Amino acid sequence: MSLDLGKKYLINKRLRIPPVIFFMPCVLGGNIENFIFRKLQFSNNLLVILGLIIFIFAILMMLLSLRAFYSNNESPAPFIPTKKIITNGIFKYTRNPMYVSFFISAFGISTIFSSFGILFGAIIGILLIHKYVVLEEEKKLEKLEKIQTLKSFKLILSAFIAGLSFSLIGCSTESKQSATPALFNTKAEAEAAAKNFNCTGAHKMGDKWMPCKSHKAHEGHKKDVGHGHHHNH
């Protein structure tokens, strides 16, 4: 296995288990402090209460994150492809609420035990999360955002083309209907065209012939035909 393949394999393994990436340095930091410097013990009552409040807040934040994932039919697991960008719920305030809750929970624990080792491990863990998880996720989200924007543009363009097509068809039909001649050289031609005006017979207009038995009937039926075509649109 080459160095590049090995690095890619390790990164992929890290991407599959973000909690391990983060909490492993916290555990190591706490153990180093416990065995080398001093025994971990509870802080004074005030710090314990404060640490518990911070830790509970982190758990609630984590639950809200999971709720946002599942309500949008998404998975919190980073190795499962994202279908859409979540912008509602707690994601309105941060793009990575799960990882923020990791850090806050570790900060709460470090407060309970007054442990700089756990806090230092949390800082290392969040930096690892940012490098090996967040940056990779951001690339995927940027690509997904571009795809969603392109789909929206195609949808708008399709709607515009469809509307334009219907308008052109309507105008073409109306033009053909309005192009029906109303003056003819012979009575027979005018009588044959009378059906296009929803009337019968023909009447003379100067040296020409018009459909319908009278000019008044012709104009009335011509308006009715026009209204009928308009309603058909």
pLDDT digits (tens, 9 = 90+) for 129-161: 888 888 877 777 676 666 666 566 666 666 667
* pLDDT tens, position by position, 53-87: 999 999 999 999 999 998 988 888 777 777 777 88
Mean pLDDT over 107-136 rounds to 87
| pLDDT band of 230, cuts 50, 70, 90 | very low
Q: What one-letter code names the amino acid at 17?
A: I
Helix (H, G, I), strand (E, B) or coil at 114: coil
Dihedral, 39, 44, 49, 54 alpha carbons, nearest 10: -50
Burial of residue 206, with CB atoms counted within 10 A of its CB: 0-12 exposed, 13-18 middle, 19 or more buried = exposed
Task: Give pLDDT, residue 100.
Answer: 92
Beta-bridge partner residues of 208: 205
* DSSP 8-state assignment for residue 35: I
Q: What is the mean pLDDT of the chain?
A: 75
Helix (H, G, I), strand (E, B) or coil at 205: strand
Rounded distance between C-alpha atoms, residue 90 and residue 68, angstroms: 7
**Which of 192, 214, 194 shows the shortest CA–CA distance to 205?**
214
* pLDDT tens, position by position, 177-204: 444 567 778 888 878 887 777 788 888 7
